[in-house]
Amino acid sequence: MNEQQPVVPPASEDAGETPPAPGRRHVLKALALGVPGALAVSATPAMAQGSASPPQTPAAAPAPLRFFNAQEAALMDAIASRLIPADELGPGAKEAGVTFFLDGQLAGAWGAGDHLYRQGPFQAGTPEQGYQLSFTPAEMYRRGLAAFDDAVRKKEGKPYDQLAPDVQDAWLASMQKGELDFDPLPAEVFFQALLEGTMEGFFSDPLYGGNKDMVGWKLVGFPGAYASFSNDIERHGVIWRGTPVSIAQARGHHPAPGGEMPHKRGGGHG
């Protein structure tokens, strides 16, 4: 039942194309114009000195970040690289732009706790009562990254992003188990926030700056904002071989940087 011909999804002649990589000229234009969506597809945030990978951008270039400073971004990149590494299965969280994603989220309403009940008194509850800390996501990331950076530098004598991958993993595992002291922030709570944020950035629509080139969706085979499976849902066991579609692609009327004609992209939407 799995050996049948692949289902050709409707509109796949358009959806199946790989989006052209934006040219260098477009990137520079986008930077100058401050188009946030355009940055996510063309740059990585790790611009700090001493990053594990050589910086792609001259250090003098302004980091297009709203929440993280350059040091935090480098640390976040290094953490994301271990939580979801680039490997033989494809790009990882760093390549997916998870740091960009988190930067946007933490700079925005969610980071400020727009849906977080923040009235006191704050007190430790039972596990069944759920999250009871006063930290907003932004406050937690700021404090947690600083505490982690501090702990690593004290013990290792160098920043996290310069450690060997297995040593990096051991540090994350310690944080996950709550063995590190980030008082008053429980290290294991911060680890979960990092992991959840990384998953969100890896799997959410590229609209938010992560999941660049839909690498998260391609890893698992999720079609994205694809609109209809009426014709496929009863073809049991037949793998879907279309190319995922993001909201921006399906929309089809985003002007390209530089004022060219919009990309023609199908997503099953009229």
For other proteins, the binding residues (CB under 8 A) are: 1-2, 82-85, 87, 89, 92, 110, 113-119, 121, 123, 125-132, 169, 172, 176, 195, 198-200, 203-205, 207-208, 216-217, 219-230, 232-234, 236-240, 245, 247, 250-251, 267, 269
**Residue 157: DSSP 8-state:** S
Q: Which residues pair with 181 in a beta bridge?
A: 186
Closer CB to other proteins, 154 or 234, in the complex? 234
- How many C-beta atoms surround the C-beta of residue 270 within 10 A? 6
Comparing CA positions, the residue from 97, 110, 81 lying closest to residue 38 is 97
For residues 254 and 238, what is the distance between their CA atoms, to the nearest angstrom?
33
Q: In the bound complex, what is the minimum distance in angstroms from residue 9's beta carbon to other proteins?
A: 11
Q: In the bound complex, what is the minimum distance in angstroms from residue 58's beta carbon to other proteins?
A: 32
Closer CB to other proteins, 199 or 256, in the complex? 199
Phi, psi of 245 (to 5 degrees): -125, 130
Closer CB to other proteins, 43 or 245, in the complex? 245
Q: In the bound complex, what is the minimum distance in angstroms from residue 120's beta carbon to other proteins?
A: 9
Q: In the bound complex, what is the minimum distance in angstroms from residue 43's beta carbon to other proteins?
A: 21
Closer CB to other proteins, 27 or 199, in the complex? 199
Q: Are 27 and 38 in contact (CB under 8 A)?
A: yes
For residues 95 and 111, what is the distance between their CA atoms, to the nearest angstrom?
22
Q: Which residues contact 47 (CB under 8 A, 6 or more apart)?
A: 55, 57, 59, 61, 63, 70, 73, 74
Closer CB to other proteins, 62 or 121, in the complex? 121
Q: In the bound complex, what is the minimum distance in angstroms from residue 131's beta carbon to other proteins?
A: 5
Closer CB to other proteins, 115 or 154, in the complex? 115
For residues 158 and 147, what is the distance between their CA atoms, to the nearest angstrom?
14
Comparing CA positions, the residue from 149, 199, 130 lying closest to residue 48 is 149
Q: In the bound complex, what is the minimum distance in angstroms from residue 169's beta carbon to other proteins?
A: 7
